[in-house]
Amino acid sequence: MELPQVDLEQLKALMKLMEQFGVDEVDVREDGRRLRLARGAGRQAPVVMPAVMPGSVMSGVVQAPAATAAPGRPAAAAAGEPEPGIKVIRSPMVGTFYRSPSPDSPSFVEEGQQVGEDATLCIIEAMKVMNEIKAECQGELVKILVANGEAVEYGEPLFHVRVA
């Protein structure tokens, strides 16, 4: 049986993110293929288990454990809960946070700006796939919590929106 080819740079980047954020398992399914990385107890490096997936295609699915604070970054509870009427927009995945569609483009949104439910707030790049993050509520963007180009983890707060 021949194993599917794996992009070593993507694999290294995923392993680094797993180590950085303490993620023990990542399961990626794309184009009928599956890549599962798991770190066992006491192991320093993830174990790579590529497998071909029969049946349906699930593009860009990444499963991660519940959010924990990144090293050097306080958890939401430690930083204080937002005031009533503020919705916290959280990262739905592990990846790299971008405020604009390209380096020479203006940011999608700025603090103080009114946003609608379908407004794109940012892009999170995961496995070279650009994922638009929508506001999913209407209101005023009060706070941007992550710097452009920063790595984010699953469940990490990205924005505060004062709901209209």
Does the structure show a pLDDT above 70 at 47?
A: no
CA angle 23, 155, 59 (to 5 degrees): 75
pTM to 2 decimal places = 0.53
- Domain definitions of the chain by residue range: 21-63, 76-163
Q: Please tell me the distance from the alpha carbon of residue 42 to that of residue 163, in angstroms, as a whole number.
A: 45
Contacts of residue 113, defined as CB under 8 A and 6 or more positions apart, other chains included, come to: 140, 141
Residues 112-132 pLDDT 10s:
999 999 999 999 999 989 999
- Tell me which fold the domain 76-163 belongs to: OB fold (Dihydrolipoamide Acetyltransferase, E2P) (2.40.50)
